[in-house]
Structure 1
Amino acid sequence: MTKPAFGIDIGGSGIKGAPVDLDAGTLAANRVRIPTPKPSTPDAVADVVAELIGKFDVSDDMPVGVTFPAVIHEGVAQTASNVDKSWIGTDVDALLTERTGHDVFVVNDADAAGIAEMEFGAGRGASGVTIMTTLGTGIGSAMFIDGILVPNSELGHLTLHGEKAEAYAASSIFEKEKLSWKEWASRLQEYYSMVEFLFTPDLFIVGGGISKEADKFLPLLDLKTPIVSADLRNQAGIIGAAVLAKREKKSLVKQEKKAKKSEKKSGKPSKKKSA
């Protein structure tokens, strides 16, 4: 039996978390949600993350994965969506690790949802190029090649009609402009046709809250690529973050063992690679 990991999903309005059963791909306890602080500065959010973990019996060695609405490179936020702009340039990994006392591994929010779907949901066993999109305030994306994540794809930022695609076809626009399902599907058709042309995917997975009504718009799309709704819905971020944390923790342990072995052979301290 695989030991559980803890997943946290940071959003613009709420921060949610729960331990995850990594054998079943389900939450091991009811999730807890705490409103995202306003303003959502690094210190304020870090305090909420620590508070959230404190509501569960999280052992010292349990890895913690955290989704974040930003491009993440080596643990550092390169952008900031739906959170305070002071996050840009912040080492999110280091901040949350220091504040919580746990090994924390941060991942882009859409990438986390994609990881969950590839491991336990609609993308399980998929080969070739799989692209997951999350339709919400914007359009998030996660791209996989034979199950391997290509991080920070940000396909919602492709240009359609002189603006970001997400400003034209996100589900928030569907609601804001009070479009009919047919009108919105027409916009999605343009978007997915462009992505299909650029990447020739083997599978599209559609997530986000609106995916629960996928039967109202997916059948209206005419694509060469199969397109299906996500299975894990609003739990995908938490589950994907936990999966990522377990993988990264395992990789880090291997690196440390290799470094110690090298140090023992050479008699010289080796340079340790940080998580």
Structure 2
Amino acid sequence: MTSNFALGIDIGGSGIKGAVVDLAAGDFATERLRIETPQESTPANVAFVVGEIVANFSDQLGDGPIGITIPAIVQHGVTLSAANIHPSWVNCPAEKIFEDALGRDVVLVNDADAAGVAEVQFGAAKGNPGLVIITTLGTGIGSAIVYRGMLIPNSELGHLEIDGYDAEKRAAASARTREELSWDEYVPRLQRYYETVEFLFSPDLLVVGGGVSKKAHKFLPRLNLRTPIVPAELQNRAGIIGAAWLAVDKSAHPDLLR
């Protein structure tokens, strides 16, 4: 790494958040700034808000790098999908749009991938030398696969078909809320999901993030798996921290070497 500081920005369906990250400490070096996501969350409108966040941190950032997360599949800087953002992001040259708007080099990455990298570098999976799979249980199921510190991008393990269902339709935290499931009813769904992921990938460690991970004691001890499974540690800071880290160390993200 050439610098210990970088700006991370996390684009979500309701808010766009940013902070300068101290990459030596693996934590925010500034207070986080949050601005509501534009109601019409087109690339141009979102890029304008991102520009406001960059301007806010310009004194601390200098000419340092910027990492941006987005709830989309990102391949070679192009967003191929759009979750909770405007459909015009599909097949959009998003990274170039941000670079043109900001006049800076930008690294654009899927939001779950960024969070996963943060957990491997600084959080629950720090120091693990093998295959780590990080999942976030929320509206859907986000996922990141990291092997020996190398991110394998855009895994989308929430869309595995299990027992004839898209996995996240039954196992995401939103399913528990929507169907008013008790923990006794919800845990078997998580068991089925994680045992399938375990069978397909034989990971060395599973990490569970998302808001529901704050209640990990209610479900993780009840899962019967060979693989150790632990709650994420960085919570809602993970996306910003992971984006900042990837902005500096592109070698950790093979899709960024272009």
Which residue of the partner structure matches residue 257 of structure 1?
A: none
Structure 1 residues 249 and 28, CA gap change in structure 2 (3 angstroms): farther
Which residue of the partner structure matches residue 17 of structure 2?
A: 16
Q: 1:1-275 residue pairs with structure 2 within 5 A?
A: 2-56=3-57, 57-248=59-250
Structure 1 residues 249 and 49, CA gap change in structure 2 (3 angstroms): farther
Structure 1 residues 249 and 161, CA gap change in structure 2 (3 angstroms): closer
> Which ranges in structure 1 are unaligned for 5 or more consecutive residues?
252-272
Report the AA paired with residue 140 of structure 2: G
**Aligned mates of 2:257, 2:113 — CA distance in 1:** 22
Please tell me the root mean square deviation across aligned C-alpha atoms, in Å: 1.9
CA deviations 1:41-63 (Å, max 9, x no partner) are 11111111101111222545210
Does the 8 Å CA contact 1:5/1:245 hold for their aligned counterparts? Answer: yes
Does the 8 Å CA contact 2:79/2:91 hold for their aligned counterparts? Answer: yes
SS of the aligned residue for 1:19 comes to strand
Further displaced range: 158-167 or 242-251: 242-251
**Aligned mates of 1:45, 1:183 — CA distance in 2:** 39
Segments of 4+ moved more than 3 angstroms: none
Does the 8 Å CA contact 1:137/1:171 hold for their aligned counterparts? Answer: yes
Larger radius of gyration: 1
SS of the aligned residue for 1:30 comes to coil
Shift of 1:3: 3.0
**Aligned mates of 1:50, 1:58 — CA distance in 2:** 15
**Aligned mates of 2:70, 2:211 — CA distance in 1:** 17
CA deviations 1:91-128 (Å, max 9, x no partner) are 11111111112211100100000110010011111122
Report the AA paired with residue 53 of structure 2: L
Does the 8 Å CA contact 2:7/2:61 hold for their aligned counterparts? Answer: no
Does the 8 Å CA contact 1:129/1:202 hold for their aligned counterparts? Answer: yes
Structure 1 residues 249 and 227, CA gap change in structure 2 (3 angstroms): closer
Q: How many residues align?
A: 254
SS of the aligned residue for 2:249 comes to helix
**Aligned mates of 1:102, 1:49 — CA distance in 2:** 12
Does the 8 Å CA contact 2:151/2:252 hold for their aligned counterparts? Answer: no
Does the 8 Å CA contact 1:2/1:23 hold for their aligned counterparts? Answer: no
SS of the aligned residue for 2:96 comes to helix
Does the 8 Å CA contact 1:133/1:141 hold for their aligned counterparts? Answer: yes
Does the 8 Å CA contact 2:12/2:71 hold for their aligned counterparts? Answer: yes
Compute the TM-score of the two structures, normalised by the length of structure 2: 0.94
Does the 8 Å CA contact 2:251/2:257 hold for their aligned counterparts? Answer: no
Does the 8 Å CA contact 1:63/1:249 hold for their aligned counterparts? Answer: no
Report the AA paired with residue 83 of structure 1: I
Does the 8 Å CA contact 1:205/1:228 hold for their aligned counterparts? Answer: yes
Structure 1 residues 111 and 61, CA gap change in structure 2 (3 angstroms): same
Shift of 1:148: 1.1
Structure 1 residues 161 and 249, CA gap change in structure 2 (3 angstroms): closer
Does the 8 Å CA contact 2:73/2:79 hold for their aligned counterparts? Answer: yes
Which residue of the partner structure matches residue 265 of structure 1?
A: none
Structure 1 residues 58 and 174, CA gap change in structure 2 (3 angstroms): same
Does the 8 Å CA contact 2:207/2:230 hold for their aligned counterparts? Answer: yes
**Aligned mates of 1:59, 1:250 — CA distance in 2:** 22
Structure 1 residues 60 and 195, CA gap change in structure 2 (3 angstroms): same
Further displaced range: 237-246 or 157-166: 157-166
**Aligned mates of 1:108, 1:190 — CA distance in 2:** 25
